């Protein structure tokens, strides 16, 4: 992704990995081959491969303002025990090298913002040092939605008490709790303002406390939407939630509200998994919507 400007703010992408992740109908149950072929002219090959696999990127965004450097969503991470997802298990990504290519060191990050706490959005919150998980960004405040944190904390404690497998691939234990223990976590409510023009808002459905980041500067507007849309293919039918959604009905409602609000406006959309070049805008097309790269 080329550097994007939002007024006085600047956005860059830190890539962890990108691939044809899985069959599209695995990520988005209910989508049909007929729907995909009907929209193949704009979906393929950028978003969906010829054999109907979904192209997905795992990345963070660096949002720079005159006052702060904010990292948005923290990908899968290295050395994490993710045995149920082999492509995430004990990985050795070049993520920190890619961050440094942008001229950003871990100590330069002022805030880490996780739109939600799925394992592929919190992984780089921590790294393995001498056998212990410690915060990757030593000077950062990690901003977690209070509702989201409480949901996963309860699930984590429930599993521990009953001897069950840790929820969410164990990511709460290795990628969230060490940040809390280090005193770097901030539990916030909807409307939290990082600085003037940058606010975190509830966008529930994908997870119990899912959020989006709303950004405005000098009349320009952008939304960091996390996984409200996993793939542009969901724009064919906004009721199509991903298999990873906590509440598919609420997720569809949140998705519909966001898409209708942004369609045919200059607002930039930065999603959690759209493939390169990632940033773009939503446009309305008769009975559906499309995604157009910036």
Which CATH number covers residue 71?
3.60.15.10
pLDDT band at 75 (very low <50, low <70, confident <90, very high): very high
Structure confidence at residue 287 (pLDDT): 85
Taking residues 170-181, report their average pLDDT. Answer: 98
Q: Could you give the CA distance from residue 36 to residue 90 in angstroms, rounded to a whole number? A: 34
Return all residues near 286 (Cβ < 8 A) that are at least 6 apart: none
Structure confidence at residue 286 (pLDDT): 85
Structure confidence at residue 182 (pLDDT): 98
Q: Could you give the CA distance from residue 73 to residue 37 in angstroms, rounded to a whole number? A: 32
98 neighbors 14 (Cβ within 8 angstroms): yes
What pLDDT digit, counting tens, does each position of 9-48 carry? 999 999 999 999 999 999 999 999 999 999 999 999 999 9
Taking residues 273-277, report their average pLDDT. Answer: 97
Structure confidence at residue 52 (pLDDT): 97
Q: Could you give the CA distance from residue 292 to residue 267 in angstroms, rounded to a whole number? A: 12
Q: Could you give the CA distance from residue 45 to residue 50 in angstroms, rounded to a whole number? A: 7
In 112-145, alpha helices (H)? 119-122
283 neighbors 235 (Cβ within 8 angstroms): no
122 neighbors 71 (Cβ within 8 angstroms): no
Q: Could you give the CA distance from residue 82 to residue 92 in angstroms, rounded to a whole number? A: 13
Q: Could you give the CA distance from residue 166 to residue 102 in angstroms, rounded to a whole number? A: 35
Q: Could you give the CA distance from residue 80 to residue 166 in angstroms, rounded to a whole number? A: 13
Whether the per-residue pLDDT at 93 is higher than 90: the answer is yes
Residue-range definition of the domain harbouring residue 21: 4-293
Taking residues 267-284, report their average pLDDT. Answer: 98
What percentage of residues in the chain have a pLDDT greater than 90?
Answer: 99
Whether the per-residue pLDDT at 120 is higher than 90: the answer is yes
pLDDT band at 251 (very low <50, low <70, confident <90, very high): very high
Taking residues 178-188, report their average pLDDT. Answer: 98
Q: How many CA atoms lie within 13 A of 284 on its CB side?
A: 12
pLDDT band at 175 (very low <50, low <70, confident <90, very high): very high
Taking residues 181-197, report their average pLDDT. Answer: 98
Number of folded domains in the chain? Answer: 1
Nearest alpha-carbon partner for 210 in 169, 246, 174, 235: 246
* Burial tier of 110 (Cβ tally within 10 Å: 0-12, 13-18, 19+): middle
Q: How far apart are the first and last CA of the chain?
A: 9
Neighbours of 20 (CB within 10 A): 17
Whether the per-residue pLDDT at 246 is higher than 90: the answer is yes
Mean pLDDT of the chain: 97
Structure confidence at residue 137 (pLDDT): 98
């Amino acid at each position: 992704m080329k550097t994007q400007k939002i007024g006085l703010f600047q956005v860059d992408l830190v890539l962890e990995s990108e691939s044809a992740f899985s069959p599209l109908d695995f990520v988005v149950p209910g989508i049909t081959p007929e729907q995909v072929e009907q929209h193949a002219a704009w979906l393929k090959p950028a978003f969906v491969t010829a054999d109907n696999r979904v192209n997905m990127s795992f990345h963070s965004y660096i949002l720079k303002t005159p006052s702060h450097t904010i990292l948005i969503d923290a990908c899968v991470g290295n050395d994490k025990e993710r045995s149920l997802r082999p492509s995430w298990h004990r990985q050795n990504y070049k993520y920190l090298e890619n961050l440094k290519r942008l001229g950003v060191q871990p100590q330069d990050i002022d805030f880490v913002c996780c739109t939600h706490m799925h394992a592929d959005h919190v992984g780089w919150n921590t790294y393995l040092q001498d056998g212990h998980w410690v915060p990757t960004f030593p000077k950062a405040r990690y901003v977690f939605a209070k509702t989201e944190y409480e949901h996963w904390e309860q699930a984590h404690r429930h599993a521990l008490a009953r001897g069950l497998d840790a929820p969410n691939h164990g990511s709460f234990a290795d990628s969230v709790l060490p940040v809390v223990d280090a005193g770097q976590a901030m539990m916030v409510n909807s409307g939290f303002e990082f600085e003037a023009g940058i606010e975190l808002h509830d966008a529930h459905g994908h997870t119990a406390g899912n959020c989006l980041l709303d950004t405005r500067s000098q009349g320009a507007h952008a939304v960091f939407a996390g996984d409200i849309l996993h793939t542009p293919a969901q724009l064919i039918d906004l009721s199509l939630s991903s298999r990873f959604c906590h509440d598919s009905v609420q997720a569809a409602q949140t998705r519909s509200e966001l898409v209708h609000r942004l369609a045919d406006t200059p607002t930039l959309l930065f999603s959690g998994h759209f493939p390169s070049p990632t940033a773009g805008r939503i446009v309305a097309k008769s009975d559906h919507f499309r995604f157009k790269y910036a």
